[in-house]
Structure 1
Amino acid sequence: MESFCVKAPAKINLFLHIINREERGYHLIESLVVFAKLSNFLEIKVGEKNFRYDNSTVEFVNSEFRINYRYNTITRAVSLLLRHAPVRTKVTVKVVKNVPIAAGFGSGSSDAGAVIRMLGELWNIDRQFLNDIALSVGADVPASIDSKPVFVRGVGEELCPIKQCSLPTSLVLVKPKKKFLNTSEVFSKYKEDFSQPIKWSDNTEENLLELLKETKNDLQEAAISLVPEIQNVISTLESQEGSILSRMSGSGVGCFGMFDSEESAKAAAANIKKEYPEWWVCDTELMV
């Protein structure tokens, strides 16, 4: 049996615009997605299948909420990938959860992306197949295969990699503990007009921070109506010295603050932990 250790970094939507809705009911979005050094750690074991057991098993460690061990992003990804395995195979995954779930930080999506990336390389699976598998698992998963800065459109399938990310790299991530949001519920609460699509080009990358300040998370108001504490998180991040930008990430209760230096981020995290010990708080850096 072969064993592999891989990282699944936290995903952050620096902005998220709802630009349309297709006939099937899926919302079409555009988002600038980046990844942080804060990561889940996955131990993936691959070996010949014993017919007495399931194709895959998953064990989660440190998770704040209970996760369905038989039906989750990893087991869905593995079941689809096994169709391309060269022999009858069993995959076992142990996940140490450092990225909180149901926070908008892509904890489950990044886990699936890491598994798809690793098994795709191991079994030499065509990249288009990997992208299709990722999208069938979840809208955030295609971007999470490579875990690099990317501009995303559609339902998550249109990816435009960022060649040179010029953004400040110091972040503080905050999530109120024991609070979570259901993605479908947040989208159902969204009643605003659709945002105008951004005219994205290579030149856009040169002024990402200026672009960010002109964008927003269209789901933020809907989420705050469901969990008002989100507004307090954002306001607290904005009040810290060195704060550049703060908002909600994705459709979860988690928020990020971008800071002008590592020192400012660490000081902000310490201040927030002291003032709100009931919140999960982490200072980290962007992967660029």
Structure 2
Amino acid sequence: MLSTRAPAKINLTLHVRGRRADGYHALESLVVFSGGGDTLSLTPGPSLSLAVSGPTAPAAGAGDDNLVLRAARHLAERVEGLRLGAFRLEKRLPVAAGIGGGSSDAAAALRLLARANGLAPEDARLHEAARATGSDVPVCLDGRARMMRGAGESLGPLLAMPLLPAVLINPGVPVETRPVFARLGLQPGESLSGAAHPEIASGASAAELLALLEKGRNDLEDAACLQAPVIVDVLAVLRAARGCRLARMSGSGATCFAIFAMPQLAAKVARAIRRQHPEWWVKTAALR
């Protein structure tokens, strides 16, 4: 049995530059990953299957539309005689939450199949299968910080990042991505005004990085708050927390994050929020 982690993907920034002629939105986003997340294992064999368990399994589903199976099928179309097998997914991340849980699971499936079949991590067919599976899957293949541009197909170099202690909150309200983008009201070929994304240098200190992040934004935040007003409450709670250095929504929501100076402070804040809002999914994380 082969096993790998499928961490949460956090968009520290998400700038929408406009909508392309092909209908996709053109993005600029600094993406980092958490230390924890889902776990995916693979027992190699002749047939393809998926079993899902864990606290958020009911929302994830184990049918043919699960991104783990879709990724495996896309790779099988590109690699003749690909050895498949039985996947088992331990699902802990919330679904439709703006943290790329399904995309990270799909990327994990591609990594496991590459190991089972002796494919190099840089094999172009892995990246082709990732792009065919979903816009966020390519950036999740490495699971390390980098800039993501376009519709997810353009990736910058890997970035050496300082560890950012954080608190993640999802209020338990699924937010579908398509309606959030639709609220922007952009027509194909139309641009969205806004300051350019700050240049992120590899090896920046935590203080330098936070100063740059403050110049960034998430252009989907307002639209997502209209879709799910509870996001406003989550952001208010995080921004009011003692020691919060930056609070923002990730992806298209509803998960939000706050960055703190020390892990102990993040843990203390998370405990307090859990007591006040036991219905929320509240986790500490080490983002990098």
Task: Settle same-fold status: TM greater than 0.5.
Answer: yes
**Matches of 1:160 and 1:169, distance apart in 2:** 20
Task: Judge which range, 107-116 or 195-204, deviates more.
Answer: 195-204
Equivalent in the alignment of 2:224: 223
Unaligned 5+ runs, structure 1: 50-54
Over the aligned positions, Cα root-mean-square deviation in angstroms equals 2.0
Letter in 2 for 1:182: E
Q: Does 1:46 align with 2:47?
A: no
Where does residue 248 of structure 1 map in the other structure? 249
What amino acid sits opposite 1:164 in the alignment? A
Alignment partner, residue 169 of structure 1: 164
What is the Cα deviation at residue 200 of structure 1?
3.5
Change (3 A) 1:256 1:68: same
Q: How far apart are the structure 2 equivalents of 1:93 and 1:57?
A: 6
Give the structure 1 partner of residue 26 of structure 2.
Answer: 28
Query: Which residue in the other structure is 1:52 paired with?
Result: none
Distance 2:200 2:216 in 1: 16
Match of 1:232 in 2: 233
User: Residues 167-206 of structure 1: matches in 2 within 5 Å?
Assistant: 168-177=163-172, 179-191=173-185, 193-198=192-197, 200=199, 202=201, 205=204
Aligned 8 A contact 2:144 2:159 in 1: no
Task: State how many pairs are aligned.
Answer: 277
Q: Compared with structure 1, are the counterparts of its residues 204 and 283 closer, same or farther at alpha carbon in structure 2 (3 Å cutoff)?
A: closer
Amino acid at match of 2:139: A
Question: Is the partner of 1:10 in helix, strand or coil?
Answer: strand
One-letter code of the match for 1:228? P
Structure 2: distance between partners of 1:175 and 1:115:
25
User: Quick one: which of 8, 11, 29 aligns to 1:10?
Assistant: 8
- 1:218-254 CA distance string (max 9 Å, x none): 0000000011100100110111111111111001211
TM-score (normalised: structure 1): 0.90
For 1:56, the equivalent position in structure 2 comes to 48
Deviation at 1:46, TM superposition (A): 1.2
**Equivalent pair of 1:56/1:92 in contact (CA under 8 Å):** yes
> Percent identity over the alignment?
33
**Which is strand-richer, 1 or 2?**
1
Separation in 2, partners of 1:76, 1:276:
36
2:134 aligned residue: 138
SS of aligned partner of 1:39: strand
Q: Structure 1's 270 and 93: CA in aligned 2 closer, same or farther, altered over 3 A?
A: same
Name the TM-score, length of structure 2 as normaliser.
Answer: 0.90
Q: Is the 8 A contact 2:5 2:36 kept in 1?
A: no
Q: 1:122 to 1:232 in 2, by over 3 A?
A: same
Identify if the C-alpha distance between structure 1 residues 264 and 23 changes in structure 2 by more than 3 Å, giving closer, same or farther: same
Report if aligned partners of 1:57, 1:70 keep a CA contact under 8 Å in 2: no
Whole-Å Cα distance in 2 between the matches of residues 201 and 272 of structure 1?
A: 31
Amino acid at match of 1:232: D
> Cα distance, 1:204 vs. partner?
9.1
Q: Describe the SS at the equivalent of 2:161.
A: coil
